[in-house]
Amino acid sequence: LPVFVTGVSQGGGIGIAATALGDDVAGALIDVPFLCDFPRATSITDADPYAEIVRYLAAFRDRVDDTFRTLSYVDGVNLASRASVPALFSVALMDAVCPPSTVFGAFNAWAGEDKEIVHYAYSGHEGGGPEHRRRQLDWLADRV
């Protein structure tokens, strides 16, 4: 049976990593992923969990380069460039927790050509809710 990866928020970021690093993944459902484009996220949102990084860097100003270099190893934008399976992303345009531009960064870096992103203009970090679940089920049905 084919294996599909799915995750929301932190699970979405981990889903990107699992897809990028897994050998037998058939597709990915990635929703409002955290862990993407740390430098951008920390410069545009004051919401946790990215704000935790900001507070750390405010206390340890001499560690900025080392911090972002370390985080780059788990950054969804970098990992997405290794993922080539079909993917369905969601992004919420009013999401302060995972800013839309960070999600688009991972989506744009996704190496596969069969990819789609659904945006929810007036949603926050909850994403697309039941409407998106229905879309995911239809997407899966087309591939299984």
Positions marked active-site: 9, 95, 125
Residue 123: strand pairing partners:
none
7: Cβ–Cβ under 8 A, 6 or more apart, which residues?
13, 14, 15, 18, 29, 30, 31, 33
Residue with the two structure tokens 């900001």:
54
CA 118 remoteness from chain centre: 13
Could you give the CA distance from residue 26 to residue 23 in angstroms, rounded to a whole number?
9
DSSP 86-143: -EEEEEETT-SSS-HHHHHHHHHH---SSEEEEEETT--TTTTHHHHHHHHHHHHHHH
